[in-house]
Amino acid sequence: MALVTTKDMFAKAYAGKYAIGAFNVNNMEIVQAITEAALEEKSPVILQVSAGARKYAKPTYLTKLVEAAMLDTGLDMALHLDHGGAGLNPDQAFEEIKSCVDGGFSSVMIDGSHYSLAENIELTKRCVEYAHARGVVVEAELGKLSGIEDAVNVAEEDAQFTDPNEVEEFVTKTGVDSLAIAIGTSHGAFKFKPGQEPRLRFDILEDIQRRLPNFPIVLHGASSVMQDWVVKVNNNGGKMPDAIGIPEDMLRQAAAMAVCKINIDSDLRLVMTGSIREYFNMKPDHFDPRQYLTYARANVKELVKHKIRNVLGSSNRI
Ligand code: G3H
Ligand code: 13P
Ligand code: ZN
């Protein structure tokens, strides 16, 4: 077992018309839930770490937790930096990428989506050169995910989506290994307004897929925000009215196309939080964290198994 890049995973996922789950990790219970689910489902898996996760848990704890999960399960895994460079200037962004490449990650994302095309290309290329020289793969992003649900008119909405006319130039000039695109997904648990029909721009995905044959595409903001868990949160003292995610059938459709990596974080948070809220109500006399975290971890594991089996289609691929 070893830390691996996503290269092989993506080639197989593309050919097999399925996707690899990229799950955000922040603590031991989440790492265990995801990796035990992957083991039981015989599925490849990507564990990804955001800047927020690194700040919360400290980078060393996260890399060592992933190392422990590999030892425990015997699985190969990819360790990926999620949204590298977000909120930083280009030099700081490069330093963050460098620190993760040097710190043992097998894959990094440089998120230059808020820059102009030329600036995004320049920053991404710089990161690709550094990472590739050290055997690390790079994901980049074109298009803007956040705020799509707030777009007031079609022209504005279109400006947020990835422009298919830019993808060939971007991939050729940067040498990047995979590309995150904006087709209507967004981060967090409130992706659409109540009453708004969830919609993804499969026409844009199709166009990109035609222009970049066999090239792995990444979908961020792909949590489904399962309604039974929203109800569980709200029935146990939480306040998440109108939390809405991406319907599972849309994710399955994307996974059968060029989308090889599907990012999931909010669903893990939802199940973790819903479980703990429910546990506290069920057992008000318990105060040992191992009791409620055992319950939450088991539910997160079931969620990940469900995703692997019924959404990503990555069961029995190793
Ligand atoms: O895309 C963002 C992920 O959900 C990570 O969120 O930055 O709060 O760790 P975070
Ligand atoms: P969600 O908020 O939909 O889980 O998306 C997570 C993500 O894209 C992490 O990069
Ligand atoms: Zn993301």
Min mean pLDDT across 45-59, 143-157, 267-281 is at 143-157
317 pLDDT exceeds 70? yes
- Is the pTM higher than 0.85? The answer reads yes
Catalytic residues: 82
Instruction: Find out whether 40 and 74 touch, Cβ atoms under 8 Å.
Output: no
Distance CA 33, CA 45 (A): 12
pLDDT band at 148 (very low <50, low <70, confident <90, very high): very low
For residue 254, give the H/E element and its range.
helix 248-255
Using the predicted structure, report yes or no on whether residue 303 has a pLDDT greater than 80. yes
Q: State whether residue 238 is helix, strand or coil.
A: coil
Residue closest by Cα to atom 5 of ligand 2: 221
Q: What pLDDT score was predicted for residue 157?
A: 62
List beta partners, residue 263.
Answer: 22
Instruction: Please write the tens of the pLDDT for every residue from 166-185.
Output: 999 999 999 999 999 999 99
The rounded distance, in Å, linking the Cα atoms of 61 and 65 is 6
**Please, which pLDDT band fits residue 1 given cuts at 50, 70 and 90?**
confident
72 has a pLDDT exceeding 60: yes
Using a 6 Å cutoff on CB, does residue 24 contact ligand 1?
yes
Q: Is the pLDDT of residue 307 over 60?
A: yes
Ligand nearest to the CA of 23: 2
